[in-house]
Structure 1
Amino acid sequence: MNAVHEDLVGIGLIVLLGVAFFSSASSTLLLRAYKALGTMWQLAIDLVGIGFVAFIFAGLLSPLEALGWWAGWYGDRLDTTVAPGTLVEPIPTKTKIVRYAVYLDGIAQTNFQYLPEVDVFLNELAAVLPDDILIIKGLMPYSVINRPLTQGRMLSFLWRLADRLQASKSGGIIGALLLVAILLRNLTVVAVSADGRYGPIYNQGTAQVIYNSLLGHGYEPGSKIPITLIGYSGGGQIAMGAVTYLKQALAAPIDVISIAGVISGNNNVLKLEHLHHLVGDQDLVERAGPIFFPKRWQLFFLSYWNRAKRRGKISMTSLGPVGHNGAGGPLDPNKFLPDDRSYLQQTVDLVAGILQGKSPLAQTTSRNKTSNYELYQQAAFNQPSYYPLDRSVDPQLYRPVACWMGRLILPAFEQRRFVKGVLFEVHHTDPAHQHLVGQIVNLRWSDDPKVQAYVRTVTKDLHFSDEARYSLRQGIIHPNRLDRWQQVDPLESLAGARPHDDVIVMLRDRVEVRTNAGDDRPTIIIWREPVQITGRFYGLVKFLSPLENSDRFRVVHFNRTSGCFDGVEEIVCLPQVMADREGIFPSTSRDIEKSPLNSSGWYIYGAKDSAGMFVVQSLAPRALLRLQPDRVVFGKNAALNYIQKETWRNAVAQKSKTSSVLLFPQEGKNEQAIAQWQEGDRALLVHVYGGIGGSQREKAAQTPIFFGHFAYGVAQVVREPLADELQFDIKYCQVYTHNTDGLIAGTLAWNRYMGDRSFGWLGTRPVADILIKLDAFTKEYEFQEMKRSALDISIEQLEVMMARYRIGDGTGGTYVGPAHSCSQDSNQALYAALKKISIAVTFDSEMQDWLAQNPEQAQRFDRLMKLGKYIRRKLLPFGTARADWHNNENTLGISPEEDALSGLLIGLGSWRTMLPRLASETVTKLFIEQGASVWVLRTNQVGGYDSNIAPIAPTPIGW
């Protein structure tokens, strides 16, 4: 069937109707009256009749062009390079495009040209936008083959006449009627797009047109460059219909700006980054959408539209006293608002602002309840400004926590475009860059393709959902400063995670300093996410006694020469911390000098205040972290028994104590077991904490069951210079939901997550940190010029998950439920890493050749594959991966109440990972069975003594 099939059928049907009409006896009088009219009136009636019949059949045959495209009727004659649209304004050469915008016109469109007011709008929009935002116009959204009504159709003469009359001031009633015919014809196309039967075919065709246009103007699929579809009137529905297919084909972030759009609500808005719906108060046409399309009725609360509204995916912006189109419409330059802007200028301002990330709906949400974070911030010593950067410490007594340290600062929105990252207040550097201390510099990601791939994966528009706003009012800390920001990257989500710029971090691995011409600030380039820390310096001391009626303590420093605490004595400050909103103090210094851990000493972390006094912000017991176990357990069976039955035994009786137990799967001697842990070795960390009991029992532990919290991390054996001994350097990869404490999902050093006297858990919760060392998993494989381990790949997957958690996949919040939790999603990252390795081995011939040539590494790899199979079998006992695990779907940010039943069913698919203690014991058991050496570190409300609290072990359920 050829390209004019639709028009031939249409003409035939018109003739048949004409014959039927004129052969009817009832038409005799009408014919006589018609013949009595003058020639001009007969011509007018003929044109109106043809237009009416053309509209009827164009409406009936609207799906036919789409069906023909789907069936391949147009064959090789369909050239996708023809009329791919034009640029509203040329882009200077070598310009790096940061966003593509595609304009889809309203239902008055018949060809690639627009009405004058549309051209004015697009030209003014392009004039105010920066050069790196590209706008495409000139597409025909009412044809799946991008063919205008005025070309290549047997009825084109009629639509061309309509165009001429519409452009003429003397078009008269004929022009008006033909314009109505155009509007009704294209309106039927919009109805097809919204139709559940023909819509998917039509929308895929429209998506193909937009796809061809984007590629024709330089878009690279997979580049993750954002795309915005601007739909006017019926173009709003056409844009919404195309989104799902475009997103699948381009793997790009896509949002839609609807200007007076008529939108059905049938399409999956959840696939969008955001829908900005701009509508005037006097727009009667747009109001038809909420009336005539049931999926937009509030009654259907589980429809895509209503779910998207709750998740913050849809913004409804009033244009004021504006109509739908024409005079008084959004593009009218001659009607004015009270602020003296024309209706056109308001629309240009709003669309330009959205394209540049400036939302018209920036909101502030007040809190009904005070958060723990706000309470802790009332203590002056928790403010970064409390510690001047020009106060030095004795290098014989204190060491810097890290080489590069500083404070993250979220740039103001106006600065964002130029910073292209975040700001960084430099607190400490390597010797070559000490002149930067105290300066505020740019902090950016490396352009390395691997780094950029990670950044693109987790960069999303951020619009708070209803649940996030409600949660914020309840005193939960959300990244509200980022609300309504487009394309928030993982550095911005880290810097903006709390209400104030108080995130202190260390930069790790590779750091590069660049000085760019024309930029007043140097730029620091990083390859890895910064690690959250507490304090700038640390020392090793023993507490002697508190000063009377004071928060100061006499301490004595460790003497490396003698190996005893007979060094320099000093006065340090342990300021009183603030209680949380349940009245529980995060830590206490009461009787810390009497602690059983005091004899082996404490690492104190902090900095000097303005008076030169060292303020202790964080504590760590030396006995816990050094490689000197209290006990060694030999044999697999004994190790498994310890994990299941002894790790959490008698938690209350162990209050204020720690334990360090090494589990060695073979028989042997203590020295042999300890010697397996060498400087530089790394281990997978499995972390679980329990609850707070006692007379001030926390509300979360009021029932007999307390599940606790789960996390993975990395522990590395390092030589600590002050004591000149091996110890564990522990970093937690916290997949952590938004919370009242302001704890940020991300990588946290032990001195921040555990030891911090205000924000850490050392003083209040019992904790088990299980360190697992299995060469097949933790040791690097040397493949070609690359050194990587399964542990590295697991951490990379965890970093993706942590960044997603910080912004709730763009909703602003993450919540604990059956399908999503710290334990479920941490183990999803482990599953993804093992799956990635398995796929690489199966399909990479070079890797298979390498394994064949390296038998020692191949043997380790076989053990890794066996471990992966056992882990997948245990984590997914029903034999198949959860859909969201298998596809790595962005499903965070969904309130547990929204999908309660489906969430429960999904969670049951990985039920062992629902419970933190069970998950930790299951994973540890599998590693031990493969011969792993395991070190179990336990703490039980350590530090000073608080008689009002007692440790609660997480409830043991299953194995």
Structure 2
Amino acid sequence: MASQQPINATLQRTLKWIVLLVISAVATTLLHGSLHAGQPHLYPSQYASTVTAPFNQPSYYPIMAQPPASYRPVGEWVGRLILPTVEQYQQMAQSTQETDWVWMEVEVAPADASNWVGQVVRLAWQPTPLAQAYVNKASRDVRFAPEVQKTLEAGILHPVRLNGRDRVGPLQSLAGARPFDDVTVVLRGDVQREDMEISIDDLSNHSSLNLPNNSPTLRIVREPVQETGRYYGLVQFVEPVLPDNAALPTQCPGSPPCTSDWMRVRHYNPVSRQFDGAEEIIRIPQQPQDKDGVYNMTTRDLAQSPTGEAGWYISGALDQAGVFTVQAMQPRSMVQLQPQQTVLGFRRGLDYINFRNWETVETRKGTIQTVLVDPTVNRSGDALVDWQEGERVLVMHLFGGRGGNHAAHESLILGTYAGHFSFGLGRVVRDPFTNDLIFDIDYLQVYGNGSDGTISGANTWRNYMGNLIRGKAGTRPVSDVLIKLDTLTEDYNFGGTRLSFFNELLGELSLIGARYRIGDGSGDSTITSATSCVQDSAQGLFLAMQRFRQTIEANPQVMEWMRANPNDPTTQRFRRLVKLGTDLANHLTPMGVVRWDWSQNAEVLMGVRSEDEQFISIDDFQIRNLLTGLISWRTALPRQAHDELSMLFLTNSAKLWFLRPNQIGGNDPGIEPLEATLAMGGWKLPFTQIPIFSVLINRTFGGVTIPTAIDWLITLAVLLGFGMLAFAITQTAYIASPLSSATPFLSWQPSPLPWHQSLLTLIRFLFVPALLKEYVFRVLLIPYPKPWVSTFTWWSWALLALGIYMVYHLLSARLRRSKAATSPILLVLVALLGLACTIAYRCTGSLWTITVIHWAAVSIWWLLLGGQQWHNAALRLAKP
């Protein structure tokens, strides 16, 4: 009898476990049944082509199947999101006022919560002020715009299951982003459990589907990160094999026969630190081609790929036959803290960004370049010292095109391929397999509606890049820049008040990504001249920086602490942040004007405007959008934002680590890497890497910057200084001029022309010579004065442009046979005017200010100071 009580307790726990499994199974069955009862129609697309393959469906992988010990979970909490019904949301809102939650089928859980695996639980937010404020800002009623049907028919995916729903929040938009419940996520940050005790007596009354608030619940404080696979391992591919009961794929890239799906691998051995661990035969299923005949991956030549020399991280799960089936891959060599090349020094760093990063990309297919750029040290060995475990980095992502001879290949249009841009956040972590330091990267995607099922929001590298269904690594060249800069990545401690720009940026970009998933309520995240991945990612950076500074400067305790501790490292770092913020603001608002939508969004986030007001501009093409896009033209194209922000951070002493995979993995002979370019950047000067048309376009747009009040004061000062110096020179030298007997060069002699002819002369002078010459000889010939352009370089180009300007003046005079134009005093004043305009351009960076100086100088001389009379007298004296 003494042992009977423990036995009964064991039986009760076992029975409770069985009951939970039964309830979970019933819930899962009913949930799946309700979803499949009214599935939306799928138009031809990459997603529609791949989702029907058995190995791409969640049911292909039993949840309770555990892989061998050589694999590890991809996270503590991993699960598949399931979209609740409208009725379930309504019931939850009535009972608990919660409007944003989803079902999650738990696939991986911590060891002390192993009984949660296999359950369908509620995933909801913690009731913290920050989390609830985020949900409120991200929630919108969804009513599809009329144009959505057209893009649906063209194969673009929209969140069709969310159409007509009210207050769609970030969790709901994530679960309902695709037509089926196939979004896997990993939970980060603080995760709280709300267990539910169920007894046999409760079973008959339990209705978890009708009363979701009675379900077990996981509560989170940050948005889940999209993930691929449940477990991952570190292996080396040995060779393809073909088991007796298997067959070769019938379709694949290249000429038949196809390579086998099955691969013999060796696991990494932490004892020997070699790939001499357990051997295993895994499956890497050949993905179907999409409607255009494009394959997202292939196993052809995969075992011989040079990117796999250091091994591959493979993630996936056991299939129904107990075979580990790969769903995503990542080359270890790319994330190791062992750069292939180290570039030291600021100037060499600029050269790498401008010319070397994408150099001859078409020849790099199947390779990876890892390059560390450090402007702060002189020796390569010193460049790695600061990259320690726990370090955080800001990530900038850019992908190029899928070129080659494939029938559906992408190509340059007017010498341009835009590509895609996003930010991300990374960490230096300890590899659990090797114990070495590696990079762990999450992208914060701002992604418009597409055909492959890529979803805006936080994505692991595995999910966004390595996913076999839609990942970019196998088909596109990519440039990821990891930015290490303490002003951005290290938290601030102002005498006990802790603040983090890193977290601020995470919140801003998560919010924009969530609003993108539902098209801010319209269901359509259309790419326009004013709205795109790069424009809105830049907006997130702009708003995060603005809000962070305002938060600090509005805190009297923090400001008082900094005044009392001016030499504290935190105070010094904040001052550097202010400088960086100014540089970023000048860069992201190059016209000198903050975009109207960015300004409105900042007010929405700060609580000045109603949260119900629109956050993202996603209208169709309109003149207003075009003009709005021009205001932030430096972020109009992904490549320009990627390169110029890299140079701006480098100017602020950042260390940059470039990761450059180029269509890595198996070999698809029909595709080649295609460079992401600047505007017309594909057209380069022969035998150089200089995109001459891009240079001219950038200088043109840079020059049309709208001057500030200070710029106009500088312009007035330069004009007055030129006038006084010109008067002094002419009064001293005109007696020695051959023309002095006719008339002095400068004297008060208003033009005898009628007022209407004088007005026409003023208008003509404004355009020719003022605007035309300043545009050609200053704006086009001189680099725009950006922080990363050194003073020596800038003035070298400026003086060269001034020399060309003088040569042009002389040649023009000879062609016109005008001896007056070659008068020594006139040549001196022309050179002086050119130098004055050069100084003004250096200070203001605006074509309009130097045009005004040139126009005012010529007009005043011609109409008021005897210029017309002097010119006529010179012509008379020049006649034989």
Which whole-Å deviations, capped at 9, do the CAs of 1:19-63 have from their partners, x for residues lacking one? Answer: xxxxxxxxxxxxxxxxxxxxxxxxxxxxxxxxxxxxxxxxxxxxx
Q: In structure 1, which of residues 782, 788, 804 is the aligned counterpart of residue 499 of structure 2?
A: 788
Answer yes or no: is the 8 Å Cα contact 1:811–1:893 preserved in 2. no
1:715 counterpart = 2:426: yes
1:280-299 equivalence runs, <5 A: none
1:480-491 equivalence runs, <5 A: 480-491=160-171
1:370 counterpart = 2:36: no
1:928-943 equivalence runs, <5 A: 928-943=650-665
> Equivalent residue for 2:597?
884
Answer yes or no: is the 8 Å Cα contact 2:497–2:558 preserved in 1. no
1:534 counterpart = 2:534: no
1:555-954 equivalence runs, <5 A: 555-696=265-406, 698=408, 700-701=410-411, 703=413, 704-783=415-494, 787-854=498-565, 855-888=568-601, 890=614, 892=616, 894-897=618-621, 899=622, 901-954=623-676
Which structure is higher in helix share? 2
Paired AA for residue 239 in structure 2? S
Paired AA for residue 473 in structure 2? L
How far has the Cα of 1:699 moved from its partner? Answer: 5.7
Q: In structure 2, which of residues 665, 669, 677 is the aligned counterpart of residue 955 of structure 1?
A: 677
Which whole-Å deviations, capped at 9, do the CAs of 1:658-691 have from their partners, x for residues lacking one? Answer: 0110011123333321121110111000000000
1:501 counterpart = 2:173: no
How far has the Cα of 1:879 moved from its partner? Answer: 1.4
Residue segments in structure 1 that go unaligned for 5+ positions in a row: 1-362
Which whole-Å deviations, capped at 9, do the CAs of 1:709-746 have from their partners, x for residues lacking one? Answer: 00000110000111211100000000000111111101
Paired AA for residue 680 in structure 1? G
Answer yes or no: is the 8 Å Cα contact 1:595–1:943 preserved in 2. yes
Answer yes or no: is the 8 Å Cα contact 1:708–1:916 preserved in 2. yes
> Equivalent residue for 1:95?
none
> Equivalent residue for 1:385?
59
C-alpha distance in structure 1 between counterparts of 2:236 and 2:192, whole Å:
38
> Equivalent residue for 1:333?
none
Answer yes or no: is the 8 Å Cα contact 2:409–2:671 preserved in 1. no
Answer yes or no: is the 8 Å Cα contact 1:401–1:535 preserved in 2. yes
C-alpha distance in structure 2 between counterparts of 1:662 and 1:647, whole Å:
11
- Relative distance call for 1:828 and 1:746 in structure 2 (3 A) is same
Answer yes or no: is the 8 Å Cα contact 1:364–1:480 preserved in 2. no
C-alpha distance in structure 2 between counterparts of 1:697 and 1:838, whole Å:
51
Answer yes or no: is the 8 Å Cα contact 1:408–1:422 preserved in 2. yes
How far has the Cα of 1:462 moved from its partner? Answer: 0.5
Identify the structure with bigger relative contact order (alpha carbons < 8 Å, sequence gap 6+). 2
Paired AA for residue 385 in structure 1? S
1:343-422 equivalence runs, <5 A: 369-395=43-69, 397-419=70-92, 420=98, 421-422=101-102
- Relative distance call for 1:857 and 1:463 in structure 2 (3 A) is same
C-alpha distance in structure 2 between counterparts of 1:633 and 1:721, whole Å:
30
C-alpha distance in structure 1 between counterparts of 2:290 and 2:395, whole Å:
28
How far has the Cα of 1:530 moved from its partner? Answer: 0.2
Paired AA for residue 574 in structure 2? F
How far has the Cα of 1:564 moved from its partner? Answer: 1.0
Which whole-Å deviations, capped at 9, do the CAs of 1:359-409 have from their partners, x for residues lacking one? Answer: xxxx99755x412111110221111111101111222x1111001000111
C-alpha distance in structure 1 between counterparts of 2:646 and 2:317, whole Å:
38
How far has the Cα of 1:610 moved from its partner? Answer: 1.0
> Equivalent residue for 1:454?
134
Answer yes or no: is the 8 Å Cα contact 2:142–2:167 preserved in 1. yes
- Relative distance call for 1:905 and 1:365 in structure 2 (3 A) is farther
Which whole-Å deviations, capped at 9, do the CAs of 1:275-316 have from their partners, x for residues lacking one? Answer: xxxxxxxxxxxxxxxxxxxxxxxxxxxxxxxxxxxxxxxxxx
Answer yes or no: is the 8 Å Cα contact 1:815–1:893 preserved in 2. no
- Relative distance call for 1:366 and 1:612 in structure 2 (3 A) is closer
Tell me the secondary structure at the aligned position of residue 666 of structure 1. coil
Tell me the secondary structure at the aligned position of residue 424 of structure 1. strand
- Relative distance call for 1:850 and 1:578 in structure 2 (3 A) is farther
Which whole-Å deviations, capped at 9, do the CAs of 1:207-235 have from their partners, x for residues lacking one? Answer: xxxxxxxxxxxxxxxxxxxxxxxxxxxxx
Paired AA for residue 875 in structure 1? L
C-alpha distance in structure 2 between counterparts of 1:385 and 1:605, whole Å:
17
> Equivalent residue for 2:23?
none
Paired AA for residue 910 in structure 1? S
- Relative distance call for 1:509 and 1:622 in structure 2 (3 A) is same
Paired AA for residue 904 in structure 1? L
Question: TM-score normalized by structure 2?
Answer: 0.66
RMSD: 1.7
Answer yes or no: is the 8 Å Cα contact 2:528–2:618 preserved in 1. no
Answer yes or no: is the 8 Å Cα contact 1:511–1:525 preserved in 2. yes
1:115-194 equivalence runs, <5 A: none
Residue segments in structure 2 that go unaligned for 5+ positions in a row: 1-37, 93-97, 198-210, 243-247, 249-259, 602-612, 679-693, 699-880
> Equivalent residue for 1:230?
none
How far has the Cα of 1:777 moved from its partner? Answer: 1.1
Tell me the secondary structure at the aligned position of residue 597 of structure 1. helix
How far has the Cα of 1:413 moved from its partner? Answer: 1.4
Which whole-Å deviations, capped at 9, do the CAs of 1:341-372 have from their partners, x for residues lacking one? Answer: xxxxxxxxxxxxxxxxxxxxxx99755x4121
- Relative distance call for 1:478 and 1:492 in structure 2 (3 A) is same
Tell me the secondary structure at the aligned position of residue 147 of structure 2. helix
1:300-315 equivalence runs, <5 A: none
Tell me the secondary structure at the aligned position of residue 881 of structure 1. coil
Answer yes or no: is the 8 Å Cα contact 1:814–1:892 preserved in 2. no
> Equivalent residue for 1:445?
125
Answer yes or no: is the 8 Å Cα contact 1:536–1:607 preserved in 2. yes
> Equivalent residue for 1:287?
none
Q: In structure 1, which of residues 553, 561, 573 is the aligned counterpart of residue 263 of structure 2?
A: 553
Question: TM-score normalized by structure 1?
Answer: 0.60
Which whole-Å deviations, capped at 9, do the CAs of 1:451-506 have from their partners, x for residues lacking one? Answer: 11111011111000112222122211111101000111110000000111110000
- Relative distance call for 1:497 and 1:785 in structure 2 (3 A) is farther
Paired AA for residue 541 in structure 1? V
Identical residues among aligned pairs (%): 42
C-alpha distance in structure 2 between counterparts of 1:698 and 1:732, whole Å:
27
How far has the Cα of 1:774 moved from its partner? Answer: 0.4
Paired AA for residue 648 in structure 2? L
Answer yes or no: is the 8 Å Cα contact 1:554–1:572 preserved in 2. yes
How far has the Cα of 1:842 moved from its partner? Answer: 3.2
C-alpha distance in structure 2 between counterparts of 1:786 and 1:523, whole Å:
33
Tell me the secondary structure at the aligned position of residue 718 of structure 1. strand
C-alpha distance in structure 1 between counterparts of 2:615 and 2:438, whole Å:
39
> Equivalent residue for 1:97?
none
